[in-house]
Structure 1
């Protein structure tokens, strides 16, 4: 029983990492109706920026405190992601207002390749590490209930706590702020939102900036755990089933979907893998996503779209 609980907890922690990346997809689609294929590249660029600037800034300013250096690096990275959002709106999205969804999707694919290139140009293409002081040592829990206890990573628990706080803040932002309501109005109908005075260009800068900050947090967590390398851009592919499962328009759905997929991957690999030669963890999420596309395409918490003619 202790091993089962340990496997479930490990799956939950992996699911939170998937969910952090999936949040970027949900944010942009929820606020603009655009499926952002560049989210993985945004995570990569944000992680590269944090990894390199956390090294460079203390050297430039002669700072010995790791905490202060990381805080300054985070602020600079946040500004950097805002600049990227402004450039994306100014040179791409501004000219695609009211275009078909396919056109906007292709634009985000182009943005993805651009971000990959600019990240390599500015920050290099080696493997880097991020050290923000997250605890690395594991702990044993429930030792009185199970022999040997349950092994849990403090780093994973910290990442889960960060993700939970982030989701709570984003849910409040979308539900209870005027900017959040404007974002939802833009997603429903671009032309109608413009007709009542909502500045579409400014709204897109806001949502891409917020998605950039989410990508920065996700990049820090992933980079701290696995290191920063260009394969990090493929994290977006691991997050796609999460978005399909939870729903493209639901912030809490991204978290629930990530947890379900994370736990499902671990349990299937541990308990079913030996019977089929392993490898279930690689394709489990995509098979589950396919099932949902067949029977519930809007996901668990997504809004069902009804077209009236």
Structure 2
């Protein structure tokens, strides 16, 4: 029982990270109606920015305070995400208003490759580390209940709590603020939103900025655990099944989908992997997503779209 709970807890921790990355996909889709294939590249560039500026800033300003360096690096990285959001709206989205979804999808693919190249030019192609003080030591709990107790990773627990707090703030933002309601209106119909005075350019800058901040937090957590390298852009694509499972338009769906996939991956690898030679964790999420595409393509919490002709 103790080993099962450890595996379950590890899956929940992984699931929160998946949910955080998947949330970036949901945010862009809710505001523009397009699936943003550049989200992985955004996570990569944000993580690279955090990793390099946390080293460069102390060298430039001549101090050794790691906490201050991380705070300044986060501020600079967030500012870069704002510049990126403004540039995407100014040079891409503004010219593609009311275009087909396929056109917008191809635009995000172009943005993704552009960010990959820009990241390599600006920050180099080496493997970098991010140290934001997340605890690395394991923690034993419930020693009086289970022999030897349950082993919990404090790093995973801290990352999950940060991700949960950010997700909660975004859920409140979408449900209870005027800007959040405007974002949902833009997602439903660009022309109708414009007709009632909603400025598309402002909304798109806001949503890409929010998605950029989410990418930055996800990149910091991922980089702290595994290091920052260019495979990070493709690694984040493992969150694609999360939004398929939860629904492309649902913030709660991204959370539930991430938790289901995180737990499912861990439990299937531990209990079913030995029967089939292992490797289930790699493809489990995609098989589950395929099942949902066949029987419930809108996901658990997504809205069913009915086209009337």
Q: What TM-score do the two structures reach when normalised by structure 1?
A: 0.99
1:243 aligns with 2:238: no
1:226 alignment counterpart: 226
What SS class does the counterpart of residue 231 from structure 2 fall into?
A: helix
**Structure 1 contact 53–73 (Cα < 8 Å) conserved:** yes
Measured against aligned partners, the alpha-carbon deviations of 1:259-304 in whole angstroms (never above 9, x if no partner) come to 1101101111111111111111110000000011111111111111
1:103 alignment counterpart: 103
What SS class does the counterpart of residue 230 from structure 1 fall into?
A: coil
Measured against aligned partners, the alpha-carbon deviations of 1:113-152 in whole angstroms (never above 9, x if no partner) come to 0000001110111000000011111101111111111111
Matches within 5 A, 1:121-136: 121-136=121-136
What SS class does the counterpart of residue 151 from structure 1 fall into?
A: strand
**Off by >6 Å, runs of 4+ in structure 1:** none
Distance 2:92 2:151 in 1: 48
Distance 2:258 2:20 in 1: 8
Matches within 5 A, 1:1-309: 1-309=1-309
Distance 1:108 1:235 in 2: 17
Distance 1:167 1:204 in 2: 20
What SS class does the counterpart of residue 130 from structure 1 fall into?
A: coil
Q: What TM-score do the two structures reach when normalised by structure 2?
A: 0.99
What SS class does the counterpart of residue 152 from structure 2 fall into?
A: strand
Distance 2:307 2:63 in 1: 58
Shift of 1:109: 0.2
Shift of 1:252: 1.4
Mark the runs of 5 or more structure 2 residues left unpaired by the alignment: none
Shift of 1:235: 2.6
How many residues align structurally? 309
Q: CA RMSD in A?
A: 0.8
Distance 1:63 1:33 in 2: 45
Distance 1:101 1:165 in 2: 32
Measured against aligned partners, the alpha-carbon deviations of 1:55-110 in whole angstroms (never above 9, x if no partner) come to 00111112221111100110010000100111111111111100000000000000
Distance 2:7 2:26 in 1: 28
Shift of 1:16: 1.2
Measured against aligned partners, the alpha-carbon deviations of 1:174-216 in whole angstroms (never above 9, x if no partner) come to 1111111111000000011111111111111110000000000
Shift of 1:306: 2.1
Shift of 1:217: 0.2
